[in-house]
Amino acid sequence: MLTVLLSGASCRTPEPWEPLGAATSDARKIDPGLALHCEPGEADVLLDGVLQGSCVDLDGRVLSLSEGTHRVEVRKAGHRPYEAVVATGLARTALKVQLVPLP
């Protein structure tokens, strides 16, 4: 006979009607968008050609995106621009961008 002891407040036995793997009330939903951190903070962020704000405005936020591919641009005068195409789906996409000053 095998006996397993579980301790801790996060452990619970599913109710008979609850399917295995069902989401519980304490589960956290992850927004499948774009999380962006970029330097310098005054740089402009464009998503599919539309200005979204500056890096400072967007830091710590997740941009909601429709599923598919999107073009991300980060620009600031006197710096080399950054461009990328990101594919979004069920998971969050994260970008960390450091613009390089022009010589």
* Pairwise CA distance, residues 73 & 59, whole Å: 15
* Pairwise CA distance, residues 61 & 3, whole Å: 46
Is 58 in a helix, a strand, or coil? helix
34 vs 76 pLDDT, higher one: 76
Q: What is the pLDDT of residues 5-51, one digit of tens each?
A: 333 444 444 444 444 444 444 445 556 788 999 999 999 999 999 99
| Burial state string for 27-44 with b = 16 or more CB within 10 A and e = fewer than 16 | eeeeebbbbbebeeeebb
| Burial state string for 86-98 with b = 16 or more CB within 10 A and e = fewer than 16 | bebeeeebeeebe
Kind and range of the H or E run holding 55: helix 55-58
pTM: 0.66
Contact 79, 40 (CB under 8 A): yes
pLDDT value, residue 64: 85
